[in-house]
């Protein structure tokens, strides 16, 4: 079985939202708590860091260049240097209590960003969508920590996870991409880890980073676990497919809230790993709009 390897000599605080650029053959990711978006050129090894004024919950590359980025207080368009050029909407949650978290694009190039309810006293987070005309719409609520966004190739299903509640959902989509009633896809027991960021492969299988579970797992379209890959760190945060044939799985991990002793014991916490896989992943579309 293939084993994960470190991408390069880097450890972050809370790396998330890995995003592959096929045109550039480069990997982008956010470090939420450091207010950063990173770019790593696979061929040259060049590593660039863009600084933002607030936590970068998630982002997508734009068809027109630059990014659409969900900061704590609002969703913005920015240029390729990280300069904010247009505010799309404010955070529809209370930004003092809920920052943006996981997000990405659907098969029509619309952008989705979910929030994470910091107090944890109830499911106060939500999922918002920015359409191709930059119109925002809240499409789901009753979430503690929005994660695991992915879309089936046939556009019929949206997958999400609620990490603190230990559940993956799937939601039917109509022909316009409007969501129906979400339904549980898989629940997780204590000790299995909890589902964080995710991606879908060409066979329709859902790959989930199992936070606090030391592993990445692959699930069939029916929710059955087919494979798992162990990691040398406790908390993977998200996965994405990339590489020349889309057969490399990139895995972000974190050292957030870890003691100095745990970081000494597991110094690769916060690193980015690569894993060769047999089935190619679905390509992420850029944000189309703006």
User: Is 67 in a helix, a strand, or coil?
Assistant: strand
CA terminus-to-terminus distance, the chain: 44
Sheet holding 272-276, edge to edge: 5-6, 272-276, 248-253, 236-242
Tens-level pLDDT at each residue, the chain (290 residues): 789 999 999 999 999 999 999 999 999 999 999 999 999 999 999 999 999 999 999 999 999 999 999 999 999 999 999 999 999 999 999 999 999 999 999 999 999 999 999 999 999 999 999 999 999 999 999 999 999 999 999 999 999 999 999 999 999 999 999 999 999 999 999 999 999 999 999 999 999 999 999 999 999 999 999 999 999 999 999 999 999 999 999 999 999 999 999 999 999 999 999 999 999 999 999 999 98
For residue 209, what are the contacts with CB-CB under 8 A and spacing of at least 6?
195, 196, 197, 198, 216, 236, 237, 238, 239, 251, 252
Q: Is 101 exposed, middle or buried (0-12, 13-18, 19+ CB in 10 A)?
A: buried
* Cβ–Cβ < 8 Å for 189, 207: no
Q: Tokens for 60, please give them.
A: 């997508």
Q: What is the DSSP string of 138-150?
A: EEEEEESBEEEEE
Q: Is 77 exposed, middle or buried (0-12, 13-18, 19+ CB in 10 A)?
A: buried
Give bridge partners of residue 121 from the DSSP assignment: none
Q: How far is Cα 284 from Cα 21, in angstroms, rounded to an integer?
A: 9
Q: How far is Cα 194 from Cα 212, in angstroms, rounded to an integer?
A: 7
User: Is 56 in a helix, a strand, or coil?
Assistant: strand
At 1 the pLDDT is 74
Give bridge partners of residue 187 from the DSSP assignment: 167
Half-sphere exposure of 95 toward its Cβ, with a 13 Å CA cutoff? Answer: 14
At 290 the pLDDT is 81
Q: How far is Cα 4 from Cα 249, in angstroms, rounded to an integer?
A: 9
At 2 the pLDDT is 87
Give bridge partners of residue 50 from the DSSP assignment: 37
Q: Is 116 exposed, middle or buried (0-12, 13-18, 19+ CB in 10 A)?
A: buried
CA 284 from centroid of its chain's CA atoms: 11
Determine which one of 102, 106, 162, 196 is catalytic: 196
Active site residue 121: no
Helix H or strand E encompassing 265? helix 260-265
């Amino acid at each position: 079985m293939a084993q994960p390897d470190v991408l390069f000599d880097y450890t972050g605080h809370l790396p998330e939202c890995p995003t592959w650029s096929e045109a550039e053959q480069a990997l982008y990711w956010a470090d939420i708590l450091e207010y950063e978006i990173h770019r790593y050129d696979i061929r040259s090894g060049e590593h660039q860091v863009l600084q933002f004024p607030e936590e970068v919950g998630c982002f997508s590359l734009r068809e027109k260049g630059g990014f659409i980025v969900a900061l704590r207080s609002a969703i913005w368009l920015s240029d390729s240097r990280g300069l904010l050029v247009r505010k799309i909407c404010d955070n529809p949650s209370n930004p003092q209590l809920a920052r943006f978290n996981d997000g990405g694009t659907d098969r029509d190039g619309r952008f989705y960003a979910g929030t994470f309810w910091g107090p944890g006293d109830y499911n106060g987070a939500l999922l918002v969508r920015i359409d191709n005309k930059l119109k925002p719409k809240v499409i789901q609520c009753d979430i503690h920590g929005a994660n695991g966004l992915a879309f089936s190739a046939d556009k019929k299903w949206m997958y999400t996870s609620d990490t603190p509640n230990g559940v993956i959902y799937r939601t039917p989509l109509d022909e316009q991409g409007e969501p129906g009633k979400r339904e549980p896809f898989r629940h997780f027991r204590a000790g299995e880890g909890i589902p964080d960021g995710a991606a879908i492969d060409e066979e329709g299988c859902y790959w989930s980073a199992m936070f606090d579970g030391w592993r990445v797992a692959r699930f069939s379209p029916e929710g059955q676990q087919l494979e798992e890959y162990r990691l040398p760190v406790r908390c993977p945060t998200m996965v994405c497919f990339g590489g020349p044939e889309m057969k490399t799985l990139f895995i972000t991990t974190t050292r957030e809230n870890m003691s100095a002793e745990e970081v000494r014991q597991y110094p690769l916490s916060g690193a980015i790993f690569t894993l060769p896989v047999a089935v190619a992943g679905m390509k992420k579309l850029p944000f189309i709009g703006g």
